[in-house]
Every structure is written in C-alpha cells, then in structure tokens.
Structure 1
Amino acid sequence: METTRQQKIAKQIQKDVAEIFQKEGAAVVRGSLVTVTAVRVSPDFGYAKIYVSVFPFERSAGMMKTLEQQNWFIRRALGQRIRNQLKNVPEIQFFLDDSLEYIEHIEQALK
C-alpha cells in the first residue's frame, strides 16, 4: 500500500516525464505517441517504475529500446524538475503498458 507522499511523488513524476516527452524528448519519441499511464515509486523513493503506452503498437518494441538507451537523458531532465521535492533522483525503469492494445484486440474479436 502506497503512502500519500508516494502517491504525490508518483503523480509529479508522471506529469514531469510526460512534459519531458513533449518538449525536450521530442527527438526521443520521433513520431510516436508515447503516453505515461502510471508511475510506481518505491517506499524509499530510490526507484520509479514508469509505465508507458505507445501508439502505433507496431513501434512499441523499438520505442522501449530507445527509452532504455535514453534513460540517462530522461532521468537528468527529471532531476532538474524534481530537485526541490526529493534529495536523490530515483532510478527510472520503463515498462510497456499494453492495455490499450489488448482492448483493441478484444474489440476486433467481438466484431
């Protein structure tokens, strides 16, 4: 169960990473729609799991590889934004949230 502070920090990280993708990271996402769907933060704020959804779905594997390669850039930009809230910038790890792809698959099956 997450504490209130964990939830607040997670929401702030979600907002900041989405903003990074829109502004500084436009070259990183390159024509794909990348949405930050959720963030989970460890109790010691040392790690953050960032769940992203990628559209079009065919580019998701390549985009995840790119996000891992650009992890340092995103973490540095995140650190500049949250330096007043946290002492240390959490290690970030990206995970693919394929729930939208699953929903589309179910809709196609029902038709």
Structure 2
Amino acid sequence: MPKHHKKTATPGGSQRQLRVGELMRHAIADILAQGGVYDPVLQSNIVTVPEVRMSPDLKLATVYVMPLGGKNTEPVLKALAANKTFLRTEAAHRVNLKYAPDLRFRIDERFDEAERIDKLLRTPAVARDLKQDSDNEE
C-alpha cells in the first residue's frame, strides 16, 4: 500500500518552506542593508524585506519588498530584477541550500491594505453600525 503525502494546512506552506523562507529573507535583507549590490537605485533607496515565500519544492522564492516610504517602487523592482542573479548566488551561499532558488520580486502591499481597512473602519457608516450594535447589547 503506497504512502501518500498529505498537504499541510499551515498557511504559507510547510514548516520547512517557512524556515527556508525566513532564512532567505534574512540573507537578502542583509545583502541589501550592507550595500552588497552595486546599483545606484538600490544604493539610494532603503529596501525592507518583510517576507519571502518559498514554493513547495524550494526552487522559487517570491521576495516581497518595500522601499522606505513606499516611494520608487517601480525603479526598485527593476533594479532588483536586474541584479537577481547576484542576489540569488549570494543568498544561496549564506543559506547553504542544495539548489539556489530562483528569485521573483513583488511589492509588499500589506501596508496599503491595512491602511485601507483602517480608513474603512473610521467611516461614519461603520461608526453608526458599531453604535447600533452596542445599543442592542444593552
């Protein structure tokens, strides 16, 4: 009787994916913070790396980045893509993986989404509904 692998219910993947993603995040953030990439756009922008998501086979890393202040997102993405081979090689040496994962860069939009939800919660309609709910509980 063959054994079948069960899919994990862990958001973001298996424990191994999460651990390797966090190691990659630290490695890429360190490379960018130390100015290891000789690119004028990356050297003139502070780039944070809030998350790296790994594919199940660990061969693709989606790197979520955000330039400080949310400015210059397009030039930063282009500069990261242009220097992806160097970043891939350098991060793989630091993390010590069998295969260096291919890197894909995306802008982290969680901050924008949180701001949008915060604005929604402050609208008069939501305040009115919350007041009605608290009146009904009494």
- TM-score by structure 1 length? 0.82
Match of 1:52 in 2: 65
Ranked by relative contact order (alpha carbons within 8 Å, sequence separation 6 or more), the top structure is 1
Mapped pair 1:9 → 2:20: yes
Which ranges of structure 1 fall in alignment gaps of 5 or more residues?
A: none
How far is 1:31 from its partner?
2.0
**Length-normalised TM-score, structure 2:** 0.68
Equivalent-residue separation in structure 1 for 2:46 and 2:117 (angstroms): 21
Structure 2 distance, partners of 1:7, 1:101, is 24
Tell me how large the CA RMSD over aligned residues is.
2.2
Percent of aligned positions that are identical: 26
Q: Secondary structure at the match of 1:56?
A: helix
- Residues 10 and 70 of structure 1: is their aligned pair in 2 closer, same or farther, counting only changes over 3 Å? same
Residue 64 (structure 1) aligned to one of 74, 77, 83: 77
Q: CA deviation at 1:30?
A: 1.8
Q: Deviations over 1:49-76 (max 9, x none)?
A: 0100112333111111111111111111
Query: 1:100 offset after TM fit, Å?
Result: 2.9
1:87 to 81, 98, 102: 98
CA positional deviation for 1:105: 7.1
Contact 1:49 1:93 in 2 (8 A): yes
Aligned to 2:37: 25
Aligned residues: 108
**Bigger strand fraction:** 1
Task: State the structure with more CA Rg.
Answer: 2
